[in-house]
Chain A
Amino acid sequence: MTNGHEQAFNGTDLAPGDEHVGGGSIALRVVGYLTGLGLAILLTATSFFVAGTDLVWEPSIPVALVVLAIAQMGVHLVFFLHITTGPDNTNNVLALAFGVLIVMLVMVGSLWIMANLNHNMMPMDQMMQMQR
C-alpha cells in the first residue's frame, strides 16, 4: 500500500504545482527549475534593458515590456508551477483561463472606461462657470 503522497500521483489528474514525473530523476527536475530560472533571468534582463535604452524605437517600448512580462509569466507557470497542456492538467488550465479572462476584463475594462470618461469630461473651468 502506498502512502497518501504517492497515491496522489496515481490518478488521471495532477494537483497544481505537482510535476508530471514519469520516472524522472531528481537531477532532471532540478534541470527543469534551472531552465526556468535561466529563461526568467534572460527575460527580466531584456525588460530592464529595453526600458533603459535609447536603441529601441520609443513608442514600441510599452508594448515590448508587456509582451516580455507575459512571456515571463508563461515561463514561471510552466517551469515553476508546472501548469502544462497535458491531459492531467485540464482542470488547472481551465481555472487559470477563467482567472485570466476576469483579470483582462477588470484591467482592460477599467482603462477603457476611464480613458473614455476622461476624454469626454468637460474642462474644469467650463464646469465651474456652469455651476455659477
Chain B
Amino acid sequence: MSTIALTDTHYGSAGRDWSGPALKRIVTGYGFWIFILSDMIMFSAFFATYAVLLGQTAGGPSGRELFDLKNVAIETGFLLASSFTCGLASIAADTRSTIWFQSAMAVTCALGLGFLAIEGNEFASLVARGAGPTRSAFLSAFFTLVGCHGLHVSAGTLWLLTMMAQVFTKGFRPDIQRRILCFALFWHALDIIWIAVFTVVYLLGSAQ
C-alpha cells in the first residue's frame, strides 16, 4: 500500500469505463495547473514588455555591458539541479519515505536559496553601478521581469519549508500529498520560466 505500483488493468479498457466525479487529486492538480498556465500568461506580458523595451536604454548601459553570463550559468545550474531534487522529493512522497523526502526537499531549498543569493547580489551590484530600475525603460523592464521570477522563487522556497514542516508534523496524508503535488508543479514551472528568462533576457539581451 505504500507505493503507487499499479497493475496495467487500471489503464486498460476496464479503466476507460470508469466514470463519475473526478478524484480529488486530479481536480486539485488540474486547478493548480490552470493557475500555473495563467501565471505563465502574466509572465508573457512581462516578456513582451522586455522584448519591446530592449533597445530603449536612454543613453544608459545596455545588456551587453551589464550582464555577467557566468553568474547566469551558475543560477541556471542551481535551478535545474533543484528541479531534479524536487522530482526526487515527489518520488519519495509517493513511496512515503520521510527521510528521502526531507533530505531531497532540504537540498532543493538550499539550491533555491543559492539562486536567490546570486540574484540578489546581481541586483545589488547593478543598483550600486547606477543601473537601477529607474535608469532606463530597458532596466525597468529587466528588474520587473527578473524580479517577478525571483519573487516567485522566494514564495516557492517558503512553500517548500511549509511542506517539510507539514510532512514532519502530519505525515503523508492524502491532503498533504495533494499539496506536495501542487508544490512540485509550481517549482518545475518556475524552472521552465527561468529557461525563457536566461534565453530572452540574458543571452538575447547580451547580443543587443
Contacts and interface: CB of A to CB of B under 8 A. Distances in A.
A5 B48 CA distance: 40
Interface of A is mostly: helix
B10 to A, nearest CB: 5
Interface residues on B, range: 35 or more
Interface in B30-55: 30, 32-34, 37-38, 40-41, 44-45, 47-49, 51-52
Contact of A48 (B32, B69, B83, B88): B69
Nearest to B20: A11
A126 interface: no
Contacts of B81: 37
A110 to B, nearest CB: 4
Interface in A75-90: 76-77, 80-81, 88
Interface residues on A, range: 35 or more
Contacts, number: 182
A59 to B, nearest CB: 11
Nearest to B200: A69
15 contacts: A8-B25, A10-B18, A11-B22, A17-B90, A17-B184, A25-B5, A29-B91, A37-B81, A44-B76, A44-B198, A62-B207, A65-B203, A80-B83, A80-B191, A96-B37
Given A9-B6, A48-B73, A52-B69, 10 more contacts: A4-B177, A9-B4, A15-B26, A15-B29, A16-B30, A17-B181, A18-B181, A33-B88, A37-B80, A77-B192
Interface of A: 2-18, 20-26, 29-30, 33-34, 36-37, 40-41, 44, 47-48, 51-52, 61-62, 65-66, 68-69, 72-73, 76-77, 80-81, 88, 91-92, 95-96, 98-99, 102-103, 106-107, 109-111, 114
